[in-house]
Amino acid sequence: MDVRLRVITKPKPKTRAVLEPKVGEVLPVIQGHGSLNLLCGNCGAVLVKGIDEGEIRNMVIHCPICRDYNDIP
């Protein structure tokens, strides 16, 4: 199942865990063996592939393609 993440503004320093892949880094930045894929809320890039629901929480992923910040609540 694909889930599009909510785009947020850049979090203030030391308030959230932020995964900051480099521009051009191979996607997905996290890969598992589950059935859930997390997509960038702006460009639709697959940021996380194959996780189980709830496996990743309270994190922000900075999309290496469009550079938007994506919230994983």
Question: What residues does each domain of the chain span?
Answer: 2-72
pLDDT digits (tens, 9 = 90+) for 22-72: 888 889 999 999 999 999 999 999 999 999 999 999 999 999 999 999 999
- Contact call for residues 42 and 7 (beta carbons, < 8 A): yes
User: What's the confidence (pLDDT) of residue 39?
Assistant: 98
Neighbours of 10 (CB within 10 A): 12
Which two three-digit tokens encode residue 58? 């309270």
- What is the value of pTM for the model shown? 0.92
Q: What is the pLDDT of residue 12?
A: 96
Q: What is the largest CA-CA distance in the chain?
A: 32
Over residues 3-25, the pLDDT tens digits come to 999 999 999 999 999 999 988 88
- The whole-angstrom separation of Cα 29 and Cα 47 is 6
